[in-house]
Each structure stands twice: as structure tokens, then as C-alpha cells.
């Protein structure tokens, strides 16, 4: 084995008994692509802790690449995120550990970080598999943007030179019942993330 690819997802929250991001990556745990083993970790919905946790996971696994995942309640397909911004907030209903809204994540950090995953190729490969996907230019200001920014900040700070980024998945059908929210099956979401992991691994030494 050459090394590891770290996949993270978030724990269930609010009305979700299962978070599709975590459920999907669990299906990939232990898989091997181009000699790299997939390891998975669950992130808590405690935003104040995200920075230290993602840094700790990178230190723990020493991965060759990191793909963080999360659920989007409004996604109709697979949004592959292009950019993380240096701000965290919420929608006013819940506040998972923030002291205030519109919080700067790193006062000394850059305004934004680009994903270093092969974003466009991932989207193209997912669509070739018959699963809708697109490049997203906003990961929001909540959990997924937080882990995205803090991940890229750590990669930059430590000069790790590894690919990293975030991919959203839609709600599960069970999460969308009784609402007008879109959804996607767990197997389709897992397949999309598998394609992303496989393609990312194929570009590693």
C-alpha cells in the first residue's frame, strides 16, 4: 500500500437520522485505488471544534489526499466545490458552537483557498457514470466551508502539498420526505464519491 486517502463526513444533525455524507463514505472504507487505501472519519457538528479536529485527522493518518464531504439540503446533484472562503456563519436557526455570525476563520489567513482536487475532471467522470454533478463556486459558510477552509489552511501552513477539497451530496430520500427538498439515493452518492477518490488517487505517484 502506498498510503491513505482520507474521506470525512459529518454526523447526523437536526432532522437527519442519517447523514448521507457519512453513510456514503462508510461504503468506501477500506477500498483501494492506485495503491491508496480509503480511511474514513466522522466530523462532529460542533463548528468551534472543526479546525482542531481536521488538523488532528491529517496528523493521525498522514494522507496522500483528503476529500471532505457533507450534505446540502438544496443540492439537486453532486456539487464539487471549487473554493473555500475565510468566513463562517449560519442561517440564524442554529449555531453549532459559534460565538457570533460572520466569523472570520483565520484573521491571518487568505480570503479564500482553491480546491486542489481535479475538480473539473471529477465532475466530468461523475456525469459520464450517469450521475448529475456540477462545479460549485460556493461551499456556503457552514460546516462544509469550515472544514474545507481549515483543511486547506493546514495543508498550506505545513507545506504538505497534498490534494484536498470538499464534495457535497444531496439529502437521502428519507430525509426529504414531507418536504420539497431534492434527494439522491445513497448508492448514487457513494458511487460519485468513489469516482472522485479513484480519480484523485490515479493522479498520485
pLDDT digits (tens, 9 = 90+) for 71-85: 998 999 999 999 999
**Predicted confidence band at 94 (pLDDT cuts at 50, 70, 90)?**
low
Q: Pick the catalytic residue from 37, 41, 68, 81.
A: 81
32 is catalytic: no
68 is catalytic: no
What CATH code would you report for 3-202? 3.40.630.20
Q: What is the pLDDT of residue 180?
A: 80
Rounded to two decimals, what is the model's pTM?
A: 0.95
pLDDT digits (tens, 9 = 90+) for 103-157: 899 999 999 999 999 999 999 999 999 999 999 999 998 889 999 999 999 999 9
Q: Which positions ≥6 away from 60 have C-beta within 8 Å?
A: none
Domain locations in the chain? 3-202
Q: How far is CA 1 from CA 34, 42, 64, 105, in A?
A: 9, 23, 12, 35
157 is catalytic: no
Q: Pick the catalytic residue from 150, 168, 188, 194.
A: 168
Q: At how many degrees (to 10) do helices 143-157 and 50-61 cross?
A: 50
Contact 90, 141 (CB under 8 A): yes
Q: Pick the catalytic residue from 68, 144, 188, 194.
A: 144
Sign of the four-CA dihedral 158, 30, 50, 111: positive
Amino acid at each position: 500500500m502506498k498510503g491513505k486517502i482520507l474521506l470525512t463526513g459529518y454526523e447526523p444533525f437536526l432532522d437527519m437520522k442519517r447523514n448521507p455524507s457519512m453513510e456514503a463514505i462508510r461504503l468506501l472504507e477500506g477500498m483501494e485505488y492506485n495503491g491508496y487505501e480509503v480511511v474514513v472519519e466522522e466530523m462532529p457538528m460542533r463548528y468551534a471544534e472543526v479546525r482542531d479536529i481536521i488538523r488532528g485527522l491529517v496528523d493521525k493518518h498522514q494522507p496522500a489526499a483528503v476529500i471532505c464531504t457533507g450534505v446540502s439540503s438544496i443540492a439537486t446533484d453532486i456539487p464539487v466545490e471549487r473554493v473555500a472562503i475565510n468566513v463562517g456563519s449560519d442561517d440564524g436557526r442554529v449555531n453549532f458552537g459559534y460565538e457570533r455570525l460572520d466569523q472570520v476563520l483565520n484573521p491571518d489567513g487568505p480570503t479564500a483557498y482553491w480546491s486542489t482536487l481535479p475538480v473539473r475532471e471529477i465532475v466530468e467522470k461523475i456525469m459520464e457514470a450517469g450521475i448529475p454533478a456540477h462545479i460549485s463556486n460556493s461551499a456556503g459558510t457552514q460546516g462544509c466551508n469550515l472544514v474545507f477552509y481549515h483543511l486547506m489552511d493546514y495543508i498550506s501552513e505545513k507545506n504538505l502539498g497534498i490534494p484536498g477539497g470538499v464534495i457535497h451530496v444531496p439529502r437521502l430520500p428519507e430525509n426529504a420526505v414531507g418536504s420539497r427538498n431534492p434527494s439522491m439515493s445513497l448508492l448514487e452518492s457513494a458511487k460519485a464519491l468513489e469516482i472522485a477518490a479513484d480519480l484523485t488517487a490515479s493522479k498520485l505517484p
